[in-house]
Structure 1
Amino acid sequence: MLLLTPGQTVSVDALTEAVWPSGAPATARNQIAICVAGLRKLFKDAAGEGELITTSHPGYVINTLEHLLDITGYENLVSRAREALRKGQTAEACDLFAEALALWRGRALDGVTGQRIEEEVTRLEETHLDVCEEHAGLRLQLYGPQPLIAELTTLVTEHPLRERARAHLILAHYRAGRRAEALEVFREGRDLMVRQLGIEPGPALRGLHDLVLQDAPELGGPTADPHATPPGQVPAELPAAPASFTGRVAELAALNRMLDERAGRVPLAVAAISGVAGIGKTALAIHWAERVAERFPDGQLFADLHGFDERNALISPFATLDRFLRALGVPASRIPADLVGRSALFRSVLDGKRVLIVLDNVRSFHQIRPLMPGNGRCCVVITDRERIEDLITHYTVLQIGLNAMAPAEAPLLLAKLAGEGRIGSDPAAALRLGELCDRLPLALQIAGARLVSKPHWSVQHLTNRLVDPARRMNELSPGQGGVRAGFGLSYRALPAAGRRLFRRLGLLSTSDFESWASAAVLDTDQVDAESLMERLVDARLVEVGPGSDPHTMRYRFQDLMRIFARERAEAEESAEERRAVLERYQQRLAEVRGRGVAGPSLTCHAGGTPG
């Protein structure tokens, strides 16, 4: 009941009626409360989320937060498909319908009973059949009749009174040269409707029957695929590398060694470039790919999978495979309608070929596993914000974790943007500007762009504007983008407890701390706190190094990340909560120092911005 109306309050009375439609016991409200408590514990144990179900008078509400509800994802894809169709984007609409249908597994809400549930099941199944018919019509238009006849025959057999499905089957038979079968499908449907309902088929179905009898030319075959790559054309999909790319000498050398050592051999050459938002993962991947493109004469494929992108929906492997196969010259009529089939065909097409594949902005292994070639003559480069453990389990992966640029490289990047003369005229200010930008390529690019747009500013003037931490993040986050937006995507991808830890650590007046500090700010035990700290490390939101003894770790914020963490704490934690966090930290710090363990020298405060 809660999942059927996400984000909306469902009253206890409605829940009671749904569970006990014939009359509720006296303990109904208590039993509902017990069930909700059990669900909360289940969600917390499974996903670290204790806030998915909240009390909201006069009942409860389920808050999906950053989690995906399958029916919501399904309805969003269907809506996008219909919008694409209205814009004339037939192939894209067809792919979106296919993605939506891939989320449908068996009967909706199977095994759950009740009048309200049955009503919703009926609605969902009608919606599902409508989408099946819309998708079939598009596939018939784009890919021809042969792949569809068996599926449509099953659909018509299971739902013999649905006229649109029957019309698609008639047209598929006719376009496949089976005129007699097409007429027989109409006759069977008409006989059934007359016998069971006492009515003739609708005008659309009768009109189609007449056109088949006339061999009308408007019933012609499938349209040509406008997206297919001409035979013999080699895909070259790499976008232009940033002109300001600078440094990363060691990383480029490691990628070259990987290619020299493993090209043409098993295992497949795979590199994963990870790092925080704005660190230059995509720039490195594309810069290197362009340098070695000539070693892959059969083509270069590129896909931005929108793994961390609030403006664009996550790109599924189903849709990516469709585009890759077309780029490799596979006719649309040969592209399978299921993910397994597309993945198998992709591996077959790549067999024996040298193709470079760049998969940018990856969210999960599920998103890329079907896109992996089956032989070692290809090479795959992946960029992600977090290390994908499943990828390491299945493949031999060169892992490249990007950190801040070297101190001497930051002025070089600024010079490429603002000009060597301008940056070279004040090298000390340029070095300081690089430090204030945390030597983060995105921040440096924004700073360089500011200098270009403000030719009357000196480097020192911009440096002075960034010295104040309260202004720095605003200066480096123009509009709704920049550093703050990039950090925000990684922050929101964390579980609730991880977000809480991250922002509370931003309250401390120190940029480095050991795991006991995380336990103190969360008021939890050290083992749980360390697990959450590792989530922050995996997300590249904090850096890690050796602690005060061989058995501990020490963690560190970059300055910009620490400013962002403080911003989130001040926006999401009350003043009372912030004070409590700092009191626990001070108490724990005193205990640590009392045992003679080195601790940071600092003064904690609940307000202001870290310097």
Structure 2
Amino acid sequence: MREKADGVGNEVAAPVHGPVVQAGAIQGDVHFHAAKDPVVPRQLPGATRHFVNRAVEQDMLTTLLAGARSDGAVLLSTIDGTAGVGKSTLAVHWAHRVRERFPDGELYVNLRGFDPIAEPMTPNEALGFFLAALDVAPERIPPSDDARAAMFRSLVHDKRMLVLFDNARTAEQVRALLPGTPTCLVVVTSRNRLDDLVIREGATRMTLTVLTEQESHELLGRYLGQDRLTAEPEAVAEIVSHCAGLPLALGVVAVRAAEFSDFPLDELVEELRDERERLDALDTGGETGVRASPGPTTRSPRKRPGSSA
């Protein structure tokens, strides 16, 4: 290697893979700090194992994703419907299908808009959660709603991200959380019609309806197997009728039937026939049962199908 006129030159004793630092006289220690890889949040909950159809609704969401926005507005869809109809399940299932289209990640938050126990999540709390997910140090997260919202919009600007707001109660609960870039897709689920997001933010609104009788049979078959359904067709028809096409109700009944596989389905039907015991039959004993969906209520002890205790 050629030396300079002052006798100072460069010498590399081995092949170089990466940057080389040139320096003259050095006093003290030398520290190298590698640049951190950008954080890519992957916050989607796991998709449910048993999912039936919803092909039309999934196509609607995919069509929205394919639509280009020339006005700079964020792509936004709301999914509303009654409790237990499968809004969250649909949103998460579809999001898993398209997650590869969002190389900068997915953000998810349960806004607890209809939680029977906890208070709805505030926009400030949700923004703090998102900023932490985007690797903002706690001491750098500002306290005010406006400052947090501005920082969030700055961090996701021009990034291709999917943002899922689950169980929103009002449009106001969501509005402060919206990105400001058309490269992001936002999906909101709610029991309420969030028409204000349609009017002001141009959201595409979708109302999720109950499953058809055929789809209800298919969902039960996913849990119990077709052989058991074929063995008791009358009991299955009555279960489908009592569950009224609600995937959550069908899932709860199917789980109970699978747990007590040695009991005939018509014994479970007896509980569903009695309106006083129907909620017990549709209760998981946790926070996801049909009993928990409409609001707080007192639980009775779970009963084994056919038992008197």
TM-score w.r.t. the length of structure 1 is 0.41
1:487 maps to 294
Distance, in Å, in 2 between the alignment partners of 1:424 and 1:262 is 48
Distance, in Å, in 2 between the alignment partners of 1:298 and 1:479 is 38
8 Å Cα contact 1:269-1:397 kept in structure 2: yes
2:157 maps to 351
Distance, in Å, in 2 between the alignment partners of 1:430 and 1:262 is 46
8 Å Cα contact 1:410-1:431 kept in structure 2: no
- The one-letter code matched in structure 2 to 1:487 is P
User: Paired residue for 1:240, among 46, 53, 58?
Assistant: 46
SS in 1 for 2:290: helix
Provide closer, same or farther for how the CA distance between residues 471 and 331 of structure 1 changes in structure 2, counting only shifts above 3 A: closer
Distance, in Å, in 1 between the alignment partners of 2:139 and 2:276 is 58
Distance, in Å, in 2 between the alignment partners of 1:411 and 1:351 is 45
Provide closer, same or farther for how the CA distance between residues 273 and 400 of structure 1 changes in structure 2, counting only shifts above 3 A: same
2:200 maps to 394
Q: Deviations over 1:172-193 (max 9, x none)?
A: xxxxxxxxxxxxxxxxxxxxxx
Matched, 1:470 2:273: no
Q: Deviations over 1:424-451 (max 9, x none)?
A: 4334432331111111111101100111
SS in 2 for 1:400: strand
- The one-letter code matched in structure 1 to 2:291 is R
User: Paired residue for 1:319, among 125, 136, 142?
Assistant: 125
8 Å Cα contact 1:235-1:327 kept in structure 2: yes
Distance, in Å, in 2 between the alignment partners of 1:247 and 1:463 is 25
2:65 maps to 259
Q: How far off its partner does 1:407 sit?
A: 0.9
> What stretches of structure 2 of length at least 5 have no aligned partner?
1-35, 298-309
Matched, 1:309 2:108: no
SS in 1 for 2:295: helix
Matched, 1:333 2:151: no
Distance, in Å, in 1 between the alignment partners of 2:255 and 2:205 is 31
- The one-letter code matched in structure 2 to 1:239 is P
> What stretches of structure 1 of length at least 5 have no aligned partner?
1-229, 492-611
1:50-61 to structure 2, matched below 5 A, reads none
SS in 2 for 1:322: helix
1:254-293 to structure 2, matched below 5 A, reads 254-262=60-68, 266-293=72-99
Q: Deviations over 1:128-182 (max 9, x none)?
A: xxxxxxxxxxxxxxxxxxxxxxxxxxxxxxxxxxxxxxxxxxxxxxxxxxxxxxx
Matched, 1:449 2:255: yes
Distance, in Å, in 2 between the alignment partners of 1:380 and 1:441 is 24
More helix per residue = 1
SS in 2 for 1:240: coil
SS in 1 for 2:280: helix
Distance, in Å, in 2 between the alignment partners of 1:257 and 1:248 is 14
8 Å Cα contact 2:211-2:245 kept in structure 1: yes
Matched, 1:438 2:244: yes
Distance, in Å, in 2 between the alignment partners of 1:316 and 1:471 is 36
SS in 2 for 1:415: helix
Matched, 1:249 2:55: yes
1:212-611 to structure 2, matched below 5 A, reads 231-262=37-68, 266-479=72-285, 482-488=289-295
- The one-letter code matched in structure 2 to 1:483 is V
Q: How far off its partner does 1:410 sit?
A: 0.6
Distance, in Å, in 1 between the alignment partners of 2:294 and 2:196 is 24
- The one-letter code matched in structure 2 to 1:412 is E
1:91-110 to structure 2, matched below 5 A, reads none
Distance, in Å, in 2 between the alignment partners of 1:377 and 1:434 is 42
Distance, in Å, in 2 between the alignment partners of 1:377 and 1:349 is 13
Provide closer, same or farther for how the CA distance between residues 243 and 313 of structure 1 changes in structure 2, counting only shifts above 3 A: same
Q: How far off its partner does 1:246 sit?
A: 1.3
Q: Count residues with an aligned counterpart.
A: 261
Q: How far off its partner does 1:375 sit?
A: 1.1
Q: Which has the higher contact order (CA 8 A, sep 6+)?
A: 2
Distance, in Å, in 2 between the alignment partners of 1:477 and 1:281 is 19
Q: Determine what percentage of the aligned residue pairs are the same residue.
A: 36
1:120-199 to structure 2, matched below 5 A, reads none
Q: How far off its partner does 1:265 sit?
A: 6.6
Q: How far off its partner does 1:368 sit?
A: 1.3
8 Å Cα contact 1:316-1:367 kept in structure 2: yes
Q: Deviations over 1:57-111 (max 9, x none)?
A: xxxxxxxxxxxxxxxxxxxxxxxxxxxxxxxxxxxxxxxxxxxxxxxxxxxxxxx
Q: How far off its partner does 1:472 sit?
A: 2.2
8 Å Cα contact 2:115-2:295 kept in structure 1: no
8 Å Cα contact 1:264-1:377 kept in structure 2: no
TM-score w.r.t. the length of structure 2 is 0.78
